[in-house]
Structure 1
Amino acid sequence: MATTEECRSALEKLSDNLARADGRVRTAAGLDRSLSCHITDLDLTFTGRLVDGRIEVAETLQGPPPQKAEIGLAMAGDDLVALVDGELNFARAWGAGRVRLDAGFRDLLRLRTLL
């Protein structure tokens, strides 16, 4: 089971990857939205924002997200680490119910480029 620090590190790595992206990926990641990532097996949530292609984590809270973010993710810590390391395909994990993504329709259309 991934630790809190491994999950935070994975989010930082994802943020770095998004910041270095170009073209359609950079455009898709260029949203300014509130973001939450609930790590289900640790029962903790990272909250923050997706801003200019970077994930800015503001808080780490116990339990599920206290309020609905514009973009919400939920998954096990090991799945987060595997996704960021390229060992787990997002679309397959989402289709299998291992990853939950909650976002408005317009954001989903833009985010699909990242998937």
Structure 2
Amino acid sequence: MATIEECRSALDRLSDNLAKAEGDVHSAAALDRSLSCRITDLDITFVGRLAGGRIQDVVTVPGTPDERAQIRLTMAGDDLVALVDGRLHFAKAWGSGRVKLEAALRDVLRLRKLL
């Protein structure tokens, strides 16, 4: 099971990858939205903001936050690490229910370029 530190490191690497992206991926990452990533097996949620092509101002909160982010991801810690490391494909994980994505339809359409 991935630790909180490993999950946080994975989010930092994802943010770095988004910042370096070009073309359609850069365009999709240029959203300005609140973001949460709930790690079910650790019962924590990383809350931050997707802005300027990066994941910014990330804090860790226990459980599920009271305020719903505009983009919400839910998964196990090992799945987050595997996704960022490239060992797990998002579409397969999403299709099998290992990863849950909740956002407005317009945002989902833009975010699919990242996936």
TM range (shorter): over 0.9
TM (norm. structure 2) is 0.98
DSSP 3-state at the match of 1:2:
coil
Query: After TM superposition, what 4+ stretches of structure 1 lie above 3 angstroms from structure 2?
Result: none
Partners of 1:38 and 1:65 within 8 A in 2: no
Query: In the alignment, what sits opposite 2:95?
Result: 95
DSSP 3-state at the match of 2:113:
helix
1:15 is aligned to 2:15: yes
Q: Given residue 80 of structure 2, which amino acid in structure 1 is its aligned partner? A: L
Q: Given residue 77 of structure 1, which amino acid in structure 2 is its aligned partner? A: G
Percent identity, please.
68
Stretches of structure 2 that go unaligned for 5 or more consecutive residues are none
DSSP 3-state at the match of 2:73:
strand
Taking the aligned partners of 1:73 and 1:113, their CA distance within structure 2 comes to 16
In 2 relative to 1, CA 40–57 (structure 1 residues): closer, same or farther, beyond 3 Å?
Answer: farther
Taking the aligned partners of 1:77 and 1:9, their CA distance within structure 2 comes to 11
Write out aligned runs for 1:1-115 (5 A).
1-115=1-115
DSSP 3-state at the match of 2:50:
strand
TM (norm. structure 1) is 0.98
Taking the aligned partners of 1:57 and 1:41, their CA distance within structure 2 comes to 23
Taking the aligned partners of 1:46 and 1:105, their CA distance within structure 2 comes to 22
Q: Given residue 21 of structure 2, which amino acid in structure 1 is its aligned partner? A: A
Stretches of structure 1 that go unaligned for 5 or more consecutive residues are none
Deviation at 1:58, TM superposition (A): 3.0
**1:20-74 deviations in whole A, cap 9, x for unaligned?**
0000000000000000000000000000100011001432011013211000000
